[in-house]
Amino acid sequence: MRRTMTSLLTAMLVFCVAAFVAPVGVKAATPKAETVKVGAILAVTGGASFLGGPEARTIQMLADELNATGGINGNKIELIIKDSAGDPEKAISFAKQLIEEEKVFAILGPSTSGETMKIKTICEQAKTILLSCAAAEVIVDPVAKYVFKTPQKDSDAVKKIYGEMKRQGISKIAVMSGNTGFGQAGKGQLTKMAPEFGITIVMEEVYDKTATDLSAVVAKMMSNKDIQAVVNWSIVPAQGILAKNMRQAGWKVPLFQSHGFGNIKYVEVGGAAAEGIIFPAGRLLVADVLPNDHPQKTVLLKYKNDYEAKFKEPASTFGGHGYDAFKILCRAIGQVGPDREKVRDAIENMKGFVGTGGVFNFTPADHNGLDIDAFAMLTVKDGKFVLYNH
Amino acid sequence: MGFARYIPIAFLVAGLVLVQQVTQHTGTTFYLTQLTMAAYYALVITGLCLLMGYAGQISLGHAGFFAIGGYIPAALTTYNLEPLREKWLVQTLDAAGLLTAGQDLYGQQVLHVHPWPSCILALLLTAGLAFVIGMPVLKLKGHYLAMATLGFGTIVYRVFLAMPLFGEADGISAVPPFPLLPGVTVSGDFAARTENYYIAFGLLIVGLLFLINLVHSRIGRAFRAIHGSEEAANAMGINTPRLKLQAFVISAVFAALAGVFLTHYNGGIGPSEASVMKSIRYVAIVAVGGMASLWGVFFMGILLNFMSLRGMFGTYDDAVFGVILILIMLFAPNGLLRLHLWQRMRRWRGVDKPKSRTE
């Protein structure tokens, strides 16, 4: 009995100390009067870290840069990045924490659609601006007053691919996808929009995200002589492996990939077989070769060079989503000052903002602000990404 | 013992009210959000404590049971039956009063299963599944049992990840509040926070009382006998397979119950709740709490989950629990609260030899 009581009291003591003393100590260390608190919930670790990692690094870099140069009209940004590891329950907990405790002005992220959907209502209720870095279209459809997103629409990527197929006279295709959220969403859009473009999906295959060899699937598809092209939708090295397996088998149909292919590592995996792959992507990957008069050129080159100089890794379009979210917020604050309602209105009516994802034109009905022109068709030539010219 | 074993409960209730009052008066009620969530995780963990600490059976699949408890009501209470209104099954359910109609946030007409029947269904399903899984699996011992339950957890994770009904990788969002009783609702609304704090801890205390009584009963003694030596327990006439199964089913239902409530509180659930890392976390916390110490496990469950949910471990969240498990197993197999540190360090340095064990 005494032991139970002792452990009970010890635990209560530890608990009280942890709960009340620690946070107070943290708060006392950062007293600032004229700062705008911005929260970010990003999957810096875990399965979605390829999204959240570059996003967090980008946003931190931009915030430091901004504060070093005097902030927005003198208002400094205090950034609070929370690592959700892609777990929705953590995103929920952090969102509530940021909103109520830190009383943040706005939240950037989360990185994944699942997390964003969990906190969409919370932000809406608390009237806190949410600038999501996740792609799913349900985030902004139906439109919630305080919720925006920066990545391009999956459906536009599909339109771009199908448009190109139509031009080449392709009507019967095979669809391959990874078993991740990204793959599933893409497959859904591909299936939904095929009839609109007069395209028939002859065969569908889903593979594991850790797949290291797809030759069996390739052999199966190859036996179907109707297939004129293959579309693959995933964000894993299998994208390069698929190209390799297809060329090894001597199958010469065109291979289309999603915007998930926009990482030079996957080209390296595919080697020579990756040559000629066609895929839609934001223009970040081809910033160097854009014509000089392209509106995005300066923005893209600056971001790319800054990021690569600072972190010694290639800039990805995912980090670009974080860049756009941060810059959109800063621009709105710069226009109307740090007033949440006014900033929300400013974002909703923002026109012609040049970001890494494209040129954003928000409207009350469109909280994404990007159209199909945000994508360019790219291809691989001599181991590099280049603009695809038909 | 008699009533003495309930005294800590009285202290606990007083402590909980104190915490609530303090947060109220210092304007820090936001702490209650994470405390509420931690309380639900603590419910899983105290249930697992019965299985691991008392009956001596490990389970690395409890996140699976939690997820079943979360996903079933999430799917049922968000799946719109409105287009199926003409089907006889839907009409029968409607006539039985198991459905609720209404409008969603965007003015669309919806028809869902009421949270109560879906909660009961989830609990029954979990109990049934735990029974069916437990029957063959609990014949295994040690590592083999750990691996079999790990396999079960992985299967559950994969199923939720693969099925469109369960939202695949994105999980399920917009789960409605759970009207528990008239005027008592499990919901994540900022306004309902204090109420939900008491609901969560109320549920947890009921669970604790049940477990305290259980472990002090004849069955509880039988559990400990099994933990000590299954063969000896058998020889004493204890029906070990049945008791092990009982502990397994009870702890699974605890996990599912926590899943149901937390999902309604959070308004959603994702596949990460079913992941193996979650199961390992539960096991780690039971170990830190001292295995066969309901109070130790209870407090560690609240404390560590609270800290994790507040992001105190930052990027090292999962790693922290792995390291905790290793350190506890190495240096404090009886849990942190029963750590006789000095004695252990002296022993480590070989100052005094461990008392000779008769084995």
Same domain, residue pair A118 and A63: yes
Same domain, residue pair A177 and A245: yes
pLDDT, position A19 = 46
Question: Looking at the domain assignment, is residue A29 inside a domain?
Answer: no
Same domain, residue pair A159 and A131: no
Q: DSSP labels for B297-322?
A: HHHHHHHHHHHHHTTTTGGGHHHHHH
pLDDT (tens digit, 9 = 90+) per residue, A334-389?
999 899 999 999 999 999 999 999 999 999 999 999 999 999 999 999 988 999 98
Q: Please indicate if any CB of chain B lies within 8 Å of the CB of A87.
A: yes
The CATH number given to whatever domain includes residue A222 is: 3.40.50.2300
pLDDT, position A22 = 44
Q: Please indicate if any CB of chain B lies within 8 Å of the CB of A28.
A: no
pLDDT (tens digit, 9 = 90+) per residue, B212-268?
999 999 999 999 999 989 999 999 999 999 999 999 999 999 999 999 999 999 999
pLDDT, position B100 = 84
Instruction: Give the C-alpha distances (Å, rounded to integers) separating B20 from A11, B13, B33, B198, B299.
Output: 17, 11, 11, 9, 17
| pLDDT classification of A30: cutoffs 50, 70, 90 | very low
- Give me the residues of A, 29-58, that contact B with CB < 8 A: 44-46
- The percentage of chain B sitting over the pLDDT mark of 90, rounded to a whole number, equals 65
pLDDT, position B353 = 53
Alpha-carbon radius of gyration of chain A: 23
Same domain, residue pair A350 and A320: yes
Please provide the average confidence, as pLDDT, over all residues in chain B: 89
Same domain, residue pair A71 and A91: yes
Same domain, residue pair A83 and A102: yes
pLDDT (tens digit, 9 = 90+) per residue, A257-301?
998 888 888 888 888 999 999 999 999 989 988 889 999 999 999
Indicate if the pLDDT at residue A13 is higher than 90.
no
Chain center to CA of A238: 19
Chain B residue numbers touching A8 (CB-CB < 8 A): 8, 11-12, 295, 299
Indicate if the pLDDT at residue B38 is higher than 80.
yes
Contact A4 B311 (CB under 8 A): no
pLDDT (tens digit, 9 = 90+) per residue, A130-147?
999 998 888 998 899 999
Residue A94: which of B19, B311, B338 has the nearest Cβ? B311
Contact A86 B272 (CB under 8 A): yes
pLDDT, position A136 = 84
Q: Please indicate if any CB of chain B lies within 8 Å of the CB of A17.
A: no
Indicate if the pLDDT at residue B91 is higher than 90.
no
Q: Please indicate if any CB of chain B lies within 8 Å of the CB of A125.
A: yes
Question: Looking at the domain assignment, is residue A384 inside a domain?
Answer: no
Indicate if the pLDDT at residue A241 is higher than 70.
yes
Same domain, residue pair A166 and A139: no
- Angstroms from A74 CA to nearest CA on chain B: 30
pLDDT, position A58 = 96
pLDDT (tens digit, 9 = 90+) per residue, A94-112?
999 999 999 999 999 899 8
Indicate if the pLDDT at residue B110 is higher than 90.
no
Indicate if the pLDDT at residue A28 is higher than 80.
no
Please tell me what DSSP assigns to residue A213: -
Same domain, residue pair A158 and A277: yes
Indicate if the pLDDT at residue A316 is higher than 80.
yes
Q: Is A38 helix (H, G, I), strand (E, B) or coil?
A: strand
Same domain, residue pair A216 and A126: no
Q: Please indicate if any CB of chain B lies within 8 Å of the CB of A90.
A: yes
Residues 6+ apart with CB under 8 A from A365: A143
Same domain, residue pair A199 and A100: no
Q: Could you tell me the end-to-end alpha-carbon distance of chain B, in angstroms, rounded to an integer?
A: 31
Instruction: Give the C-alpha distances (Å, rounded to integers) separating B267 from A97, B115, B231, B234.
Output: 16, 12, 47, 46
pLDDT (tens digit, 9 = 90+) per residue, A200-221?
999 999 888 778 899 999 999 9
pLDDT (tens digit, 9 = 90+) per residue, B67-76?
999 999 999 9
Chain center to CA of A236: 15
Indicate if the pLDDT at residue B356 is higher than 50.
no
Taking residues A20-39, what's their average pLDDT? 56
Residue A93: which of B168, B302, B309 has the nearest Cβ? B309
- Angstroms from B299 CA to nearest CA on chain A: 6
Residue of B nearest to A91 (CA): B309
Contact A117 B338 (CB under 8 A): no
Chain A residue numbers touching B161 (CB-CB < 8 A): 179
Indicate if the pLDDT at residue B63 is higher than 60.
yes
Contact A92 B267 (CB under 8 A): yes
Residue B302: which of A15, A92, A94 has the nearest Cβ? A15
Question: Looking at the domain assignment, is residue A298 inside a domain?
Answer: no
Indicate if the pLDDT at residue A20 is higher than 70.
no
Indicate if the pLDDT at residue B290 is higher than 90.
no
β-bridge partners, A200: A172
Contact A184 B307 (CB under 8 A): no
Query: Could you list the residue range(s) of the whole structural domain that residue A212 is in?
Result: 154-281
Q: Provide the residue ranges of all domains of chain B, joining segments of one domain with +.
A: 2-315
Question: Looking at the domain assignment, is residue A326 inside a domain?
Answer: yes
Question: Looking at the domain assignment, is residue A6 inside a domain?
Answer: no
B57, B294 contact by CB (below 8 A) = no
Taking residues A139-163, what's their average pLDDT? 92
Chain B residue numbers touching A19 (CB-CB < 8 A): 19, 31, 306
Q: Please indicate if any CB of chain B lies within 8 Å of the CB of A11.
A: yes
| pLDDT classification of B291: cutoffs 50, 70, 90 | confident
Question: Looking at the domain assignment, is residue A26 inside a domain?
Answer: no
Question: Looking at the domain assignment, is residue A295 inside a domain?
Answer: no
- Give me the residues of A, 143-202, that contact B with CB < 8 A: 179-182, 184
Same domain, residue pair A84 and A42: yes
Chain B residue numbers touching A94 (CB-CB < 8 A): 311
Query: Helices then strands (H, E): number in chain B?
Result: 14, 6
Question: Looking at the domain assignment, is residue A301 inside a domain?
Answer: no
Please provide the average confidence, as pLDDT, over all residues in chain A: 88
Token couple for B167: 């939202």
Taking residues A300-324, what's their average pLDDT? 93
Contact B296 A142 (CB under 8 A): no
Same domain, residue pair A45 and A56: yes
pLDDT, position A64 = 95
Among B310, B316, B318, B341, the residue to mutate for chain A (most A Cβ within 10 A): B310
